[in-house]
Every structure is written in structure tokens, then in C-alpha cells.
Amino acid sequence: MARVGVFSERGGNDPGRIARSRVARSARILYFMPTPARVAVVPEEAGLIRIEDVILPDPAPDQVVVKLFSSGVCHSQLHEIHGPRASDIVLGHEATGEVVEIGSSVDHVAPGDRVLVTWIPRTVGPPPRVPKAAVLTLANGRVAASQGIFTWADHTIADELYVVKIPDGTRTDVTCIIGCAVMTGSGAVINTAGVRAGQSVAIFGAGGVGLCAIAAARVVGANPIIAVDLDEAKLETARRHGATDTVDATRVDPVERIRELTPVDGFDMMGQPVAGVDFAFDCIGAAETARQILPAARNKILGSDERSTAVLVGIPREALSVEALDLLAHEKHLTGSIGGSSKPERDVPLYLEWFARGDLDLDSMVTRRYALDEINGAVAALEKGEIEGRAILEF
């Protein structure tokens, strides 16, 4: 049976559009239809992820129900899987889909629209309010919490601030990784660091996020672009995406090799030769790589106003220690980049343009595809480091 809710006037929407929601032209009434969903649920106690059948609730005034086509499987979600929790949880934070129902206050998307679902509020300016995290009631009455959204599911319900409209003809498979991997990696380069043509960069980690950082560095004309990893296959992939040089950290000291590749005329305040990159990015978050990006950044030429920057992109699991004298004497900058300092409504169209013209090769970044029922296999492969780029779920 349909459920009836009040539908507010909204300019620009065609009330005759048909999806799962049906809007009566004269009465402005929104008829909600039940939305069954299959959802991956991480149990409160350690154990395998299970797939559950649920009925999504009617959207609140500021919520959107989305039928999903694909979702990324992000390395950061291993932190959530292995971390302590007070309830079952639902995961996934980058996806493509189609709107099926909207709340009465939603006016930027309509049923039938293609959208990205992302964990970063969509607005270019400060959002008008704090977006509400999705909470899902399971069939047994238990509650599964999220850190904002959940996309390891064939349907989801999300705060409208996490839903970004995209053109109708947009592909709905590999573009799902724009919602996190691309915005995080590419955004760290163009937004957080503001890398310009001719500047040198080193990127530690050639996984999904690192490849997006490398691609962005190539687009803006950085040179050299040095990729660092422990896996030769990943380094070969990095070269295909724009790395001019690669460093196998299992064979050489990556900091010393980066300095060998980036000598600069002049000497520093201690009379030592100057070398290192303008920007060093840690796209892994491991304790070792987090420590390496600061010394990989260039020491300051005596009398120069130029300063290098180390950017922490990956999520660290341990406290970060730095060499204070290196930071002080060379006036280096050390900064974090959360989600690539992204504003989805501004940045998503740019990344879709890069993809369309071949500057962002999402097809080769997505190296594995899984069905929802294979989620435990996808997570296991991610933990073992078997996924060279990015894995996605397809529904």
C-alpha cells in the first residue's frame, strides 16, 4: 500500500516525473512506496559481514532515497570494521545511483535524477546545517549506525546534503569512486596544496587515492611526479597514470631517492645541498610514510622565500612524530587534507570533465568488481593488498 505525505511546492521540478515517488499535479501530494533494500551489515561483535533484507523508511523532509548502481570499497573502512563499536554498523561512502524518493524540503534533485552519493557535504559554501547521519532499523529491530551514509547496499537513504546531481548520461559504474577516491586524491593536489605547473611532487602510495593524486598532478603540469610504493605492479600502474619517476621502497630509501631525483642549485642555512620536492603527499597513512613526507619535502634555500609542504592524506592509525628541527629550520609546512578539501558541487563536474576527455582514467583505476554478496571477499582482498587500484560493488 502507498503511504501519503505532504509535498511542498518546489520551483523547477516537474510533478509529472515518475519513479518510485508519484506526485499529483493538482493536490501536490507525494505518494511514498515501500522501498526494500539489501544491505551489508557489519555486526557489533567481530565476525563476517552479513547481507540483510530491510525496508527503508519514508524519507524525512531533508532525506533522499536512492537506488544504487555501484559503490566503491574504500581502504579507510577497514578502520571502521576493525574498530570498537556500540552497535551494528553499515558502511560505504561513495556511490552512483538514481533518486527514487525525496523528502518535502528537497529541491536540488527529483525522482529519476542520476546522482553521486558522497560523505562530503555537497555545498560550495558552508552547509546550512549539520547533515544527519543515516540510521537503519534492521528486520530484527536492532539499529545499525553509519558515519553519515551507507552505500554497500542496493538502495540507500541519505541526508540530501550528501547527494549530488550529475548529468543523465553519466556512466554509473566507475564514476562511483569520484565520491571519495577522486575527491580525496585529486583534491589534495588541486585544493589543499594548490600544485602549479612545473612544481615537483612525490606521492607515497599508488593505490586508488594515490593514483587520483598522480592524475591530478599530471593534469596541472607538475614535474617531476614521483610515485613511491612497495609493489612494482602498482608502480607500473602509476607510470600509466602520469608518474614520471617511480621509487620501489623495498629496494631503496625513498627519501634519499627522492632527493637524488630533485637537486636544486643553492644551499640551506646549514650549508647543505638543497633537494626534495615542493609537495610530498602521504596517501597511505601508515606510520612510516607519515614520517617520510616531511624529510622528502625540499629543504629551504638560504635567503629564499619558497617553502615546501608535506600533506597527510591517508588516515593514520598512530600518533604522528616529526623531526622538529627539519620543520623549523627549513620553514616547511605540514598540513592535513580531509577529503581533498573538496566541495562536491564545484569539484564533481570538473572530475567528470577530466574523465570524459581521458585525463582521469577511471576504467583502469577500477581493477576489481564484486557483487554485494561478495563483500567479505572484497574486504579480505583489500586487507591483503591484492587490489591494485580501487574495487567497486555493482548492484
Mark whether 121 and 59 lie in a shared domain. Answer: yes
Same domain, yes or no, for 285 and 304? yes
51 and 144 share one domain: yes
**20/161 same-domain check:** yes
Per-residue pLDDT tens over the stretch 238-247: 999 999 999 9
Residue 244, domain member (yes or no):
yes
Bridge-based pairing state of the strands 225-229 and 245-248? parallel
In a domain, 356, yes or no: no
Same domain for 199 and 106: no
* Least trusted range by pLDDT, from 228-237, 314-323, 385-394: 314-323
How large a percentage of the chain has pLDDT more than 70? 92
C-alpha grid cell for residue 359? 585525463
Does 276 map to a domain? yes
> The whole model's pTM is what?
0.89
Question: 296 and 320: one domain?
Answer: yes
Per the structure, the complete domain to which residue 97 belongs is given by 3-172+361-394
Q: Is the model's pLDDT at 26 over the cut of 60?
A: no
Average pLDDT across the chain, whole number: 91
Residues 186 and 304 in one domain: yes
For residues 265 and 277, give the distance between their C-alpha atoms in angstroms, rounded to a whole number.
Answer: 13
- pLDDT tens for residues 324-368? 999 999 999 999 999 999 999 999 999 999 999 999 999 999 999
Do 216 and 332 reside in the same domain of the chain? yes
CATH number at residue 63: 3.90.180.10
Do 205 and 165 have their domain in common?
A: no
Helix axes 287-296, 254-261, angle to 10 degrees: 30
Q: Is there a domain that residue 122 lies in? A: yes
Domain assignment of residue 48, yes or no = yes
CATH number at residue 326: 3.40.50.720
**CA-based radius of gyration for the chain:** 23
One-letter identity of residue 131? P
Q: Are residues 89 and 237 in the same domain?
A: no
Q: Phi and psi for 101 in degrees, rounded to 5?
A: -145, 150
Average pLDDT on 259-269 reads 95
- Tell how strand 143-145 and strand 88-90 pair up: parallel
Q: Same domain for 190 and 85?
A: no
Residue 348 forms part of a structural domain:
no
- 322-328 LR contacts (CB < 8 Å, sep 24+): 322/291, 322/294, 323/294, 323/295, 326/294, 326/295, 326/299, 327/294
pLDDT of residue 31: 56
Res. 15 pLDDT band, cuts 50 70 90: very low
Number of domains comprising the chain: 2
Residue 247 neighbours by CB distance under 10 Å: 25
- Overall average pLDDT of the 251-276 stretch: 96
Residues 78-129 pLDDT 10s: 989 998 999 999 999 999 999 999 999 999 999 999 999 999 999 999 999 9
- 24 has a pLDDT exceeding 80: no
The predicted pLDDT at position 379 comes to 97
Task: Output the pLDDT for position 29.
Answer: 52
Q: Tell me the per-residue pLDDT of 158-212, one tens digit each, with 9 for 90 and over.
A: 999 999 999 999 999 999 999 999 999 999 999 999 999 999 999 999 999 999 9
Per-residue pLDDT band for 315 (boundaries 50, 70, 90) equals confident
Instruction: Tell whether 351 is covered by a domain.
Output: no
C-beta atoms surrounding 308 within 10 Å: 21
Mean local confidence (pLDDT), 9-15: 36
Residues 153, 278 within the same domain: no
CB atoms within 10 A of CB 317: 13
Which residue(s) pair with 363 in the sheet? none
* pLDDT tens sequence across 271-280: 999 999 999 9
* Per-residue model confidence (pLDDT) at position 32: 63
Angle, helices 232-240/208-220, rounded to nearest 10 degrees: 30
Residue 354 lies inside a defined structural domain of this protein: no
